[in-house]
A and B are shown apart, each in its own frame.
Chain A
Amino acid sequence: MKTIKIALVGQPNVGKSFLINAMGDVKLKVGNFSGVTVEKKTITFSRDNYNFEVTDLPGSYSLTDYTSEERVTKDFLGASDYDLILNVIDSTNIERNLYLTMELLALDQKIVVALNMQDEAVKEGVHINERQLSKLLGVKCVQTSALEKTGIDELIEAIINTNKQSSQPFHLQYSDVYEEEISKITHFLEDKHYQTNTHLKSIAIKLLREDGETYHHFHDQPIWTELQPLLNKSYQHLYLHYKTKDLDEIFHDEKNALAKGAVTESVKFDTTKAVGLTDKIDAVLTNQFIGLPIFLFLMWGLFQITFEWGSIPMDWIDAFFGMLIDGTKSFLGDTELASVIADGAIAGVGAVVLFLPNIIILFTGIALLESTGYMSRAAFLLDGFFHKFGLHGKSFVPLVSGFGCSVPAYMAARVLKNDRDRLLTLYIIGFMSCGAKLPVYVLIIGAFVAEEHAGNMLFAIYILGALLGVFAAKILKMTVFKGEDEPFVMEMPKYRLPTLKLLYHTVSEKAWMYLKKAGTYILLASILIWFASNYPKHPDMEAQYASNIEQVVADENKVSKLNNELALYNLENSYLGMIGHASEPFFAPLGFDWRMAVALETGLAAKEIVVATMGVLYGLGDEHDEQSASLVDKLKANISLPAAIAFTIFVMIYFPCLAASMVFRREAGGWKHWGYLFVFTTGTAWILAFIAFNIASVIF
C-alpha cells in the first residue's frame, strides 16, 4: 500500500481535526514537534488502498512567526517532507480563509482545499461554486461538511489524484506590476540556468518579500552580485507604485486582492438570509454592563455544579473503596501485606479517584467555554481589568486553563508572544488553583464549613487565589518585568455548539490523564508514604503496649485508648514523622503540626497526594475506633480552624507539582526560573498563611 503524507493546515476554528476524524477509522498519536512543546498530532488511517499519514498543524491565521504555533506551521511547511497540503477552510468566512490559502499557493506545493462547514454556509446563504474556485486557484477545491459527513469521498479522491500529479503548475496571477517584477527575476534566473527543484516564481516571490532564508541562500552564491542590483531596482519600482516601503505589506496587498477576486468570481452571497444569531448572543454576553456579571455568574455556576453534582458519585466511589479496603483486609488477614495493599495502595489511589467526578465536571465546563467561542469573549471583557495589572487579556486563557491543570496552562501561555508577558503569566498561573488542589479544598471545606455554604466557600477560594495572582502580577510587573506591552488583537469566533463527540474526546482525555496519574505515579507515592509512615518498627514499644493492654483487657475504653497511643507513637517515630518533625519549626508559626507539614511536602510530588497523605496520617491513628469516623471528622478533631485556613492558603499558592514545575522550567527557559518560582511561591505562601493564621486566631 502506498502512503500519502498530508500536512493539515487551516486557520483556527475551521474544524480540521473534526474533518479528519470523519474520514474513517483514524488512529491518533499525540507528541511534540521537536525542540518545542507545541503539540504534534499525527493521525493515520487507511482507505482505498492508501495509507494516509496526516500531521495536524496548529491553527494559523497566516504563515508568520507571530506565535510559536504559527512558527511551527511555517517551519513544517517550509522544510518537512510531506506529499501534499490539505488546506481546510471555513466556508462561512471564505475570504479571510483564502488569505492563508494564497500564502500556501505561493509555496509551490501540491495542495487540496477542503471547503468545510458547507452545511453552515448554505444556511447562511453562502454559495460557493467549487469548480469555478478550483479553476481560479489552480488546485482542487472540495466542499465538505465534517458534521454531516458530506464530500468526504470526493476529498479523498482529490487527495489521491493530486498526489499522482507530478507537480502543480504555478497558477496565481498577481497584479501586472507585481507580475512584471516577478518575471524579471525568473527570467534572470532562467538565463543563469539556476538549478532548483522549486518553482522559480515561488523563489521570486520570496525574494520580493525579503525572505531571510532565501536571501541567505543566494547571498553565498556568485549569482548574488548580479541579482542584488536587479532586486534593488525591483524594490524601487514596487515602493513607488505601492507608496510604501513595506515589502511584506505589498505582498499581503497582492495576496488579499487575489482572495477578494476569487470570492467575487466564485461565491454568491444570499443576503436575504439572516445570520444574526452570534450578534444576538453577543448583544447580551458582551454587553457593556451585564457582560461581566454574566461571566462571573457562569464561573460561579460552574464551581457550584462541580461541587454539588460531583458529591453524588463521590459518595459511591468512597463507599466502593471503603468496601475494597475492608474486603482486602478480611481476605488477607491482619498482616503487613494487607496493610500495604489496603492502607497504602488502595486508600491512596482511592483518595485520588474519589475526585474524578469533580475533575470531569470542571473540565467539561472549561471545554464548553473554549469550544463555544465564549472564552475569547471573556478575554475581551477582562482585558481592560487584566491590563491594569500588567497582564494581557489573552493571559486569561492560560490562567483559566490553570484552574484545570497547570501543565497545559503553562503550555497555553505560548499564545503570548512577548517574552516578558509570557514569563509574567507563567509565574502567576500557579495562583489559579488547579484541579488537583480541588480535593484538598473539598476535604477542608467538608470538615470546617457547613454544607449549605460549601459551594460558596469553594468559589471564594478560587476567586481569592485568582485575585492574589493578579496582585502578584502587578508587583512583578512593577519590579521584575518592566517594559512594553504586547498588542492585544484577537478573533472573536462565531458561537458554535460543540458536538458531544468533541466534548467527550476533550474531557475523557483529561480524565484519563488524571486516572493514569493515579494509577502509576500516585500509586507508587502512596506505597512509599505508607512505608515511610509504618517504618521503622518499634518492637519494644509494641511489646510494652501489648502487656499494658493485657492488664486492662476487660475495659474496652482503655484498650482503645492504649491502641491509639501506640499507633500515634509509631507514626510520630516513623520516617515520615521524622521528616515532619524536622520541618516543624518552619511550619509552626503557621499553626501546622508535623502531619500537615508532611502532607504539604508530599504534595510537592503531586497535589492529589496531599489528601492521600492526610488519609494515611489521620486514618491509621484511629484504626481501631469502633465507629470508623470519616477522614473529615478526624480532621475536625485534629486541626484548629485558623490552622485549616492557613493550610488552605498555603496549598493555594505554594510550589506546583513535580510535573508542572518541570513544564514551567521548560517554558520559562531554565533552572534559574525554576529556582525563582520555588522561592517566590513558597515565600508568598508562607507569608500569607502566617498572616491568615494570626488574623484567624484573633477572630475565632
Chain B
Amino acid sequence: MTLNMLKKGQSATIIAIHSEKELKNRFNSFGLIKGSIITVERHTLGGKTMEIRINKTRMALRLSEAETVEISA
C-alpha cells in the first residue's frame, strides 16, 4: 500500500521510500523516514495535493509523490 491511498484521518507506518534521491533527502529532513508514523490531515478539492503530519511536522505533497512512499496500514 502506498501513502496516496490513505484517506483523511487515517494513520500508517512508513515501510520504505522508493523515490529518487533528491525527493528522498527532502522527505528525510522533514522526518518522513522508514518507521515514522504518518497521519493524513486533508486533501485539496482537486484531490491532487495532500497534507500529512509526522510527529509535529505538517507537510504538503502531491499524490504523485505520495505514491513513492510505501506504508503498512
Contact present for B31 and A489 (CB under 8 Å): no
Contact present for A490 and B25 (CB under 8 Å): no
Give A89-127 interface residues, CB cut-off 8 Å to B. Answer: 92-93, 95-96, 99-100
Interface status of A376 (Cβ within 8 A of chain B): yes
Interface status of B70 (Cβ within 8 A of chain A): no
**Partner of B60 from A287, A385, A393, A494 at Cβ < 8 Å:** A393
Q: Give min CB distance, B56 to chain A, whole Å.
A: 5
What residue in chain A is nearest B16 (Cβ atoms)? A244
Interface status of A381 (Cβ within 8 A of chain B): yes
Which of A166-174, A246-254, A581-589 is the interface stretch?
A246-254
Interface status of A309 (Cβ within 8 A of chain B): no
Interface of B is mostly: mixed
Contact present for B30 and A489 (CB under 8 Å): yes
Interface of A is mostly: helix
Contact flags A474-488 to B (C-beta < 8 A → 1, else 0): 000000000000011
By a CB distance below 8 angstroms, the chain B residues around A490 are 59-61
Interface status of B7 (Cβ within 8 A of chain A): no
Contact present for A488 and B25 (CB under 8 Å): no
**Partner of B25 from A248, A379, A393 at Cβ < 8 Å:** A248
CA distance A262 to B24 in the complex (A): 23
Which of A60-68, A514-522, A659-667 is the interface stretch?
A60-68
Residues A489 and B44 in contact in the complex (CB < 8 Å), given A96-B56, A380-B51: no
Task: Assign chain A's interface to a size class.
Answer: 35 or more
Give B19-59 interface residues, CB cut-off 8 Å to A. Answer: 19, 21-31, 33-34, 41-49, 51, 55-59
Q: Give min CB distance, B64 to chain A, whole Å.
A: 8
Contact present for B26 and A489 (CB under 8 Å): yes
Contact present for B33 and A381 (CB under 8 Å): no
What residue in chain B is nearest A385 (Cβ atoms)? B46
What residue in chain A is nearest B62 (Cβ atoms)? A488
Residues A384 and B29 in contact in the complex (CB < 8 Å), given A288-B43, A491-B57, A491-B58: no
What residue in chain A is nearest B26 (Cβ atoms)? A489
**Partner of A487 from B23, B33, B43 at Cβ < 8 Å:** B23
Residues A387 and B34 in contact in the complex (CB < 8 Å), given A95-B55, A256-B28: no
Q: Give min CB distance, A283 to chain B, whole Å.
A: 8
Q: Give min CB distance, B48 to chain A, whole Å.
A: 4
CA distance A291 to B62 in the complex (A): 18
By a CB distance below 8 angstroms, the chain A residues around B56 are 92-93, 95-96
Contact present for B49 and A62 (CB under 8 Å): no
Interface status of A160 (Cβ within 8 A of chain B): no
Interface status of A541 (Cβ within 8 A of chain B): no
By a CB distance below 8 angstroms, the chain B residues around A282 are 41-42, 51, 58
**Partner of A489 from B27, B43, B55 at Cβ < 8 Å:** B27
CA distance A320 to B32 in the complex (A): 58
Contact present for B30 and A288 (CB under 8 Å): no
CA distance A246 to B29 in the complex (A): 16
CA distance A432 to B38 in the complex (A): 37
**Partner of A256 from B26, B33, B43 at Cβ < 8 Å:** B33
CA distance A286 to B42 in the complex (A): 8
By a CB distance below 8 angstroms, the chain A residues around B55 are 93, 95-96
Interface status of A179 (Cβ within 8 A of chain B): no
What residue in chain A is nearest B54 (Cβ atoms)? A96
Residues A488 and B26 in contact in the complex (CB < 8 Å), given A288-B44, A289-B45: no
By a CB distance below 8 angstroms, the chain A residues around B26 are 61, 64, 66, 487, 489
Contact present for A64 and B25 (CB under 8 Å): yes
By a CB distance below 8 angstroms, the chain B residues around A95 are 31, 55-56
Interface status of A147 (Cβ within 8 A of chain B): no
Give A49-67 interface residues, CB cut-off 8 Å to B. Answer: 61-62, 64, 66
CA distance A493 to B57 in the complex (A): 8
Contact present for A380 and B49 (CB under 8 Å): yes
Contact present for A253 and B31 (CB under 8 Å): no
Q: Give min CB distance, B65 to chain A, whole Å.
A: 5
By a CB distance below 8 angstroms, the chain A residues around B47 are 384
Residues A66 and B48 in contact in the complex (CB < 8 Å), given A61-B29, A286-B42, A487-B62: no
Residues A286 and B21 in contact in the complex (CB < 8 Å), given A61-B29, A491-B57, A492-B60: no
What residue in chain B is nearest A417 (Cβ atoms)? B22
Interface status of A292 (Cβ within 8 A of chain B): yes
Q: Give min CB distance, B2 to chain A, whole Å.
A: 15
Q: Give min CB distance, B53 to chain A, whole Å.
A: 9
Q: Give min CB distance, B17 to chain A, whole Å.
A: 8
**Partner of A383 from B24, B30, B48, B58 at Cβ < 8 Å:** B48
Residues A62 and B25 in contact in the complex (CB < 8 Å), given A380-B44, A383-B48, A383-B49: yes
CA distance A30 to B45 in the complex (A): 41
CA distance A679 to B36 in the complex (A): 51
CA distance A278 to B22 in the complex (A): 29
By a CB distance below 8 angstroms, the chain A residues around B57 are 93, 96, 491
Residues A489 and B45 in contact in the complex (CB < 8 Å), given A95-B55, A96-B57: no
Give A291-306 interface residues, CB cut-off 8 Å to B. Answer: 291-292
Q: Give min CB distance, A318 to chain B, whole Å.
A: 45
A-B CB contact pairs (8 Å), 12 listed: A93-B57, A96-B55, A248-B24, A252-B25, A253-B33, A256-B31, A282-B42, A383-B49, A384-B49, A487-B61, A488-B61, A493-B58
The 9 residue pairs across chains A and B that have the minimum distance between CB atoms: A384-B46, A62-B29, A61-B29, A384-B48, A492-B58, A380-B60, A93-B56, A252-B28, A383-B49
Question: Known pairs A96-B30, A282-B51, A490-B61. 19 more at Cβ < 8 A?
Answer: A61-B26, A66-B25, A66-B26, A92-B56, A95-B56, A249-B28, A252-B28, A253-B34, A288-B43, A376-B60, A380-B51, A381-B44, A383-B49, A384-B46, A384-B49, A417-B22, A487-B23, A489-B30, A491-B59
